[in-house]
Amino acid sequence: MSAVVNPSVLALVATYSPGSNLLALVGALSSQGIPVLVSDDASPCTADQVLRDCGLVSGVTVIRHDHNKGIARGLNEGLRRARDSGCSWLLTSDQDSRFPDTYVDEISAFAQSMGSLWEESVRVGAVGAGIVVNAGGSLKYPITHVAGASGPIEVTEEVIASGTLWNVSALLEVGGFDESLGLDAVDAAACLRLREAGYRIVVAPELRMEHELGDSRSVQLLGRTVLATGHSGERRATMMRNRLKLAPAEFKQSPKHAFRTLRRVGVNAFMGATVEGDRWEKIKGSVKGLRGKGTV
């Protein structure tokens, strides 16, 4: 039976129609000595057994919703639970991510080492893993080095939610996660708010995790390796809509990052229209997103 040995961290796992791998994920997180909250976004009855089994794991609490609202609701539930439990950090995870057995200790130790910098020029809003591996390759964040008390610190503009450790007080200060976005770009919006408030998004360069990014695969395009995500037309509409919604604030905060993000969205739309399956549906989805429509 696992016991809470790291009271400063709470883990939130957001789920929808999870597979049997979810049980291994929550078990692995709980075994690292932190409480785990599973927030399920109205999965169909096919997920009943695995969610019941997760609720039987020591240190794991499962919340099931009867209507779909998107990942931000679950993330905010984790944020509130962390606040009410007196935790300083919230570790968020998707249902398809996998972490080394020492991940929690390593990322929380790295975050704590940043603590001495809060009164200096660097205030840490979130810490992400520097090595994110998926079936399509590795996700690489654009890195900038800033001066810290003990040497250069790697920072970036945004990190994916899965595997990220969020500063609870900082995230509460900026209003938490934006539930109006539904599913996509929720992590990007949170990072944007933190940056606007003067917090840094820090990368732990040696920290490694595995994360499935859609039905992704690497494709060569004009001599460069790009990721074809395989997302559906409806999902692509939401991705396009939300990124365009964030674009004005992104340009104000970091024009370089905003341009880089829109270029990535454009490449994603191009890949859906040219090399992936269901191309016509994906073209319609991208156009729908350009018109500001998409599933919440």
- Segment 192-215, tens digit of pLDDT: 999 999 999 999 999 999 987 656
- DSSP assignment string, 149-197: TTEEEEEES---STTEEEEHHHHHHTTS--GGGTTTTHHHHHHHHHHHT
Q: Residue 51's Cα: distance from chain center in Å? A: 21
In 3D space, the residue among 198, 195, 32 whose CA is nearest the CA of residue 109 turns out to be 32
Band (1; pLDDT cuts 50, 70, 90) = very low
Please check the confidence at residue 224 and state whether its pLDDT lies above 70. no
Section 254-278 average pLDDT? 89
Give the pLDDT confidence of 20-31 residue by residue, as tens digits: 999 999 999 999
The percent of residues above 90 in pLDDT, for the chain, comes to 69
**What is the pLDDT confidence band of residue 168, given thresholds at 50, 70 and 90?**
very high
Residue 296's pLDDT is 59
Neighbours of 43 (CB within 10 A): 18
Question: Using 50, 70 and 90 to split pLDDT, how confident is the model at 88?
Answer: very high
3-state secondary structure of 99: coil
Phi (first) and psi of residue 201, to 5 degrees:
-100, 110
Whole-model pTM: value is 0.92
Range scoring the smallest mean pLDDT among 59-68, 85-94, 108-117, 138-147 = 108-117
Distance CA 269, CA 92 (A): 27
